[in-house]
């Protein structure tokens, strides 16, 4: 069957590429590269295992890693660039165009558009993001980052994630035909995904992001396929800056009600609650108390639904995990890019306050 | 007026020139935005690009539609019906994964507004024919996707669970889009006040 053939082909491609990069990850000392051994001036460093607490050496490495991370963050916020990238994951492969610029009037405009299938795109104009898709009317949200395959945590300074991750410089290599610095974001506790970043040594631009499971398997890859950097914002961005009127702003369907008194007996270390509301879950879902947790990079939602609105017990395993734990009078549902067993543990720990 | 706008739309879609004024007008006008969405789809159909169930959006459209019309049980006949069935028979796991990974693709806003006309080809699947959710090993060598219900359940329960799964996945995605600020590292573990609302 044609479709089957195609998907296995994608699977194969993603697998080989994944295995390839993983070797680089697994190498214990590294001046390694994902493509060719083309050693840069990379320092010799040991790969920490993620249980090791920060020590003197780790801090030294961290400052170099933090330097590269912040350099990349600045590039994402300030650079005028036009790029395209592909994502590879278990669901297949997708291609995107990615444009960013700061216009003469000081507007930061970022566009990410899917290149295959129905035309999806998102435009961020400063702190307002508009999503376009053929199936629903365009809508805007107040948000500092555009939701895309590029993890939103990469748009913030390293200090936002330093409680939970070490940034470990891991040598250099050639990516998208550029000399690249490899940085590993290694979680301090063994309960969340790990990330590899490849950063352009010249411009600081992000060239590749690889997400690994706690076992070190590749879950998802983002790889730029072209990148052009300019002194000034592209002319079309200037036009958008002048003429843009964002579609109506929306927000989650928050109910005007007190949130229930739920207690979490266990949460993975380093996650902070960033939001809580009572809302109706999308697509006519149940009314639930929603909590958003973040460690700066990984994010998950906890929904607690009670009584007749109670969700069923279920689980879903993918790069995004979902687990619903039925506590009898209420159900706790955890969704996010965290390992399934962590979602299970969180959901099971939700208690009604006495 | 409307005619004229549609002409402009048509010109844009055919990659002809459109003046700045007419573009601004288009962007400002809700009706023409909706029309634009429909035209885009029409264009895709004419170019032979629109396959039912081809993309996450269409599946999402189905999900939204199902949410609105859970009781459509009587199957109709004919080719359109079969196409819809095929779309519906695809593993939903793929939809959910795609929904969680694919950008923009997101769907979270159906509860605010729906462009019904834009999703006509994929509408009203029959609840009576929903398959049991399949596991989806497609390409996912590293991390096979599985969906388990924890109790033995009837077909009706399964379809309800699947809708809930979609709801939570989509809602979480929407919550991610609404990214107000970086987490406050020094924050207390149990903050009392809720987040400030967007203006």
The reply to whether residue B168 touches residue A15, judged by beta carbons under 8 angstroms, is: no
pLDDT, residue B146, reads 43
Which burial class, exposed, middle or buried, applies to B91 when counting CB atoms under 10 A from its CB (0-12, 13-18, 19+)?
middle
Confidence of residue A58 (pLDDT cuts 50, 70, 90): low
Three-state SS for chain B is: CHHHHHHHHHHHHCCCCCCHHHHHHHHHCHHHHHHHHHHHHHHHHHCCCCCCCCCHHHHHHHHHHHHHCCCCCCCCCCHHHHHHHHHHHCCHHHHHHHHHHCCCCCCHHHHCCCCHHHHHHHCCCCHHHCCCCCCECCCCCCCCEEEEECCCCCHHHHHHHHHHHHHHHHHHHHHHHCCCCCCCCCCCCCCCCCCCCCC
Percent of chain A whose pLDDT exceeds 70: 82
CB of A141 closer than 8 Å to CB of A250: yes
Which among A24, A34, A18 has a CA at the least distance from the CA of A207? A34
- Nearest chain B residue to A141 by CA distance is B178
- Whether chain A has a CB inside 8 Å of the CB on B134: the answer is no
B109 touches chain A (CB under 8 A): yes
Residue A59, beta-bridge partner list: none
pLDDT single digits (tens) B64-95: 444 443 333 333 444 444 444 444 444 343 33
* A109, A134 contact by CB (below 8 A): no
* Residue B139 sits at the chain A interface (C-beta within 8 Å): yes
pLDDT in tens, A245-272: 888 888 777 877 778 889 999 999 999 9
CB contact under 8 A, B112 and A253: yes
Rounded to whole angstroms, the Cα distance separating A132 from B34 reads 11
Distance CA A22, CA A34 (A): 9
Average pLDDT, chain A: 82
Distance CA A255, CA A97 (A): 37
Q: Round to whole Å and give the CA distance between A109 and A49.
A: 39
- Model confidence over B1-54: pLDDT tens digits? 455 555 555 555 444 444 555 555 555 555 555 555 544 544 444 444 443 333
Give the Cα separation of A133 and A141 in Å (integer): 14
**Which of B142, B173, B190 to mutate against chain A (most A CBs within 10 Å)?**
B142
Does residue A143 surpass a pLDDT of 70? yes
Residue A55 has pLDDT above 80, yes or no: no
CB contact set of A38 (below 8 Å; sequence gap of 6+): A172, A173, A174
Are residues B23 and A243, on separate chains, in Cβ contact within 8 Å?
yes
DSSP-derived secondary structure letter, A46: B
Which SS3 state, helix, strand or coil, does residue A145 take?
coil
The mean-pLDDT minimum among A185-194, A281-290, B60-69 falls in B60-69
**Residue A241: half-sphere exposure toward Cβ, Cα within 13 Å:** 18
Residue B191: is its pLDDT beyond 50? no
Q: What is the pLDDT of residues A231-241, one digit of tens each?
A: 999 888 988 88
CA dihedral A327, A330, A333, A339 (to 10 degrees): -20
Q: How many Å apart are CA A337 and CA B102, to the nearest integer?
A: 13
């Amino acid at each position: 069957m044609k479709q089957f053939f195609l998907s296995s082909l994608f699977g194969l491609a993603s697998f080989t590429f994944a295995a390839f990069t993983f070797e680089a990850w697994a190498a214990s000392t590294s001046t390694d590269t994902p493509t060719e051994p083309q050693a840069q001036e990379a320092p010799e460093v040991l790969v920490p295992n993620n249980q090791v607490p920060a020590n003197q050496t780790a801090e030294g490495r961290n400052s170099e890693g933090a330097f590269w991370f912040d350099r990349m963050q600045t590039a994402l916020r300030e650079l005028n660039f036009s790029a395209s990238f592909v994502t590879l994951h278990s669901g297949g492969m997708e291609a995107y165009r990615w444009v960013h610029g700061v216009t003469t009037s000081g507007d930061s405009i970022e566009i990410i558009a899917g290149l295959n299938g129905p035309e999806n795109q998102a435009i961020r104009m400063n702190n307002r993001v508009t999503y376009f898709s053929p199936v629903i009317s365009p809508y805007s949200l107040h948000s500092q980052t555009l939701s895309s395959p590029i993890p939103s945590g990469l748009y913030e300074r390293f200090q936002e994630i330093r409680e939970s991750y070490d940034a470990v410089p891991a040598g250099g290599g050639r990516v998208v035909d550029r000399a690249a610095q490899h940085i590993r974001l290694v979680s301090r506790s063994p309960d969340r995904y790990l990330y590899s970043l490849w950063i352009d040594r010249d411009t600081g631009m992000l060239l590749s992001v690889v997400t690994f499971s706690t076992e070190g398997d590749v879950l998802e890859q983002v790889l730029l396929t072209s990148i052009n950097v300019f002194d000034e914002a592209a002319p079309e961005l200037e036009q958008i800056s002048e003429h843009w009127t964002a579609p109506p702003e929306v927000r989650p369907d928050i109910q005007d009600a007190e949130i229930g008194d739920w207690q979490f007996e266990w949460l993975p270390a380093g996650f902070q609650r960033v939001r809580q509301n009572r809302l109706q879950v999308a697509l006519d879902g149940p009314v639930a108390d929603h909590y958003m947790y973040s460690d700066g990079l990984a994010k998950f939602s906890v929904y607690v639904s009670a009584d007749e609105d109670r969700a069923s017990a279920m689980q879903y395993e993918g790069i995004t995990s979902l687990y619903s734990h039925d506590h009898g009078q209420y159900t706790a549902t955890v969704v996010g890019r965290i390992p399934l067993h962590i979602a299970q543990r969180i959901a099971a720990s939700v208690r009604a306050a006495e | 007026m409307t005619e004229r706008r549609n002409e402009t739309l048509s010109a844009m879609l055919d990659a002809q020139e459109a003046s700045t004024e007419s573009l601004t007008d288009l962007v400002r006008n809700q009706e023409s935005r909706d029309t634009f969405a429909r035209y885009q789809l029409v264009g895709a159909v004419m170019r032979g690009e629109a396959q039912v169930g081809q993309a996450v959006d269409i599946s999402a459209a189905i999900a939204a539609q199902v949410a609105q019309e859970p009781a459509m049980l009587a199957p109709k006949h004919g080719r359109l019906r079969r196409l819809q069935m095929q779309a519906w028979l695809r593993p939903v796991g793929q939809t959910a994964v795609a929904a969680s990974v694919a950008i923009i693709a997101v769907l979270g806003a159906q509860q605010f507004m729906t462009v019904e006309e834009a999703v006509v080809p994929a509408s009203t699947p029959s609840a009576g024919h929903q398959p049991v959710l399949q596991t989806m090993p497609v390409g996912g060598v590293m991390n096979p996707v599985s969906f388990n219900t924890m109790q033995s359940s009837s077909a009706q329960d399964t379809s309800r669970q699947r809708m809930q799964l979609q709801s939570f996945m989509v809602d979480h995605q929407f919550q991610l889009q609404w990214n107000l600020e970086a987490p406050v590292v020094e924050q207390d573990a149990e903050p009392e006040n809720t987040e400030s609302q967007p203006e």
